Amino acid sequence: LTSPLELNNGVKIPGLGFGTYQTPADVTYDVVTKALKAGYRHIDTAFLYGNEEGVGKAIKDSGLAREEVFVTSKLWNTDRGYDKTMAAFEKTMANLGLDYLDLYLIHWPANHKQFGDEAEKINAETWRAFEDLYKAGKIKAIGLSNFMPNHIDALLKTAEIKPMVNQIEVHPGWPQTEAIRYNERHGILTEAWAPLGEAAALSNETIAQIAAKYGKSTAQVCLRWGIQQGILPLPKSVHEERIIQNTDIFDFELTEDEMDIIGALRNLGGQCKVPDQVDF
């Protein structure tokens, strides 16, 4: 679909991925099969989603070589800490039925609201397990999800290996500019979950006007806005025409003004989660 990006350890990652959050387990095989047919070579799942099995099976049955598909999964919050992480990783790999993972992420940082002063230690121990799995060659790249600059600052005090990726919520209305700049400064690639604001951004009139100018949909403009900032969007759909439509974003370019106008939108909806305020 697009030329790959390069992570800080030299690993190549396709610049657009296919999200599977809220894709029910019983349709995941079919949906991921359609995504691979549409040209996606990067599939994003998580233990939490309950659909790792369908993702792995669709990849195996696709006829594509394992190295042609980039697969990400994530460690769920109940599995933080060194030993639990090691066990959870094995479970994820058994679910996927694959013999290595391309990218493994800590799904959410332990925060002070829930864990008080223990939070940093928990994240450090989880990360130490990630480093060992990476060194053992079981994962090609390791990273974070929903980590804000304060969480990464703390992690970097003890980290031996710098995270390669941070996957955060980014969409029009929730631009996360500071977090993106922070990641950039640290050589960490930002991936965007809910790049369409879980559909909330799609009915915005300003985005619709810009979309009309290019003969594109509002979804395509939202994704393009992400791509042009150098971040990696992970749109989700269970409908084949949308799965295909969301890949067709490489033949137009938003102007700087349009990028700014979209970046200045607020309160469109979507989760807009603040990682220090969640209870998990």
Give 43's strand partners: 18, 71
Establish if 247 lies at the interface with ligand A2P (CB under 6 A).
Answer: no
Q: What count of other Cβ atoms lies within 10 Å of the Cβ of residue 198? A: 17
Helix/strand/coil (H, E, C) string of 40-107?
A: CCEEECCHHHCCHHHHHHHHHHCCCCHHHCEEEEEECHHHCCHHHHHHHHHHHHHHHCCCCEEEEEEC
Cβ proximity to ligand A2P: between 120 and 191 the closer is: 191
Cβ proximity to ligand A2P: between 163 and 195 the closer is: 195
186 annotated to bind ligand? no
Which residues, including other chains, have CB under 8 Å from residue 17's CB and lie 6 or more apart?
Answer: 40, 42, 43, 44, 70, 72, 191, 232, 233, 234
- CA 166 to chain CA centroid, nearest Å: 8
Mask for 84-123, x = binds ligand A2P (CB under 6 A): ----------------------------------------
Cβ proximity to ligand A2P: between 189 and 196 the closer is: 196
Establish if 239 lies at the interface with ligand A2P (CB under 6 A).
Answer: yes
CB of residue 48 to ligand A2P, shortest distance in Å: 14
Mask for 14-33, x = binds ligand A2P (CB under 6 A): -----x--------------
Q: What is the dihedral of CA 183, 160, 44, 146, to 10 degrees?
A: -50
Establish if 188 lies at the interface with ligand A2P (CB under 6 A).
Answer: no
d(CA 14, CA 70): 7
CB of residue 195 to ligand A2P, shortest distance in Å: 5
Q: Tell me, yes or no, if 82 is annotated catalytic.
A: no
Establish if 148 lies at the interface with ligand A2P (CB under 6 A).
Answer: no
CB of residue 119 to ligand A2P, shortest distance in Å: 27
Kindly identify the residues of this chain, within the stretch 38-57, that bind ligand A2P according to CB under 6 A: none
18-19 vs 42-44, strand pairing mode: parallel
Establish if 167 lies at the interface with ligand A2P (CB under 6 A).
Answer: no
Among 55, 106, 202, 254, binds ligand A2P (CB under 6 A): 202
Instruction: Kindly name the residue from 21, 29, 40, 49 that is annotated as catalytic.
Output: 49
Give me the phi and psi of 102, to 5 degrees please: -80, -40
d(CA 112, CA 277): 9
Indicate the annotated binding residues: 107
Which residues are catalytic, by number? Answer: 49
Residue numbers at the binding site for ligand A2P (CB under 6 A) = 19, 194-199, 202, 217, 219, 235-239, 242, 245-246
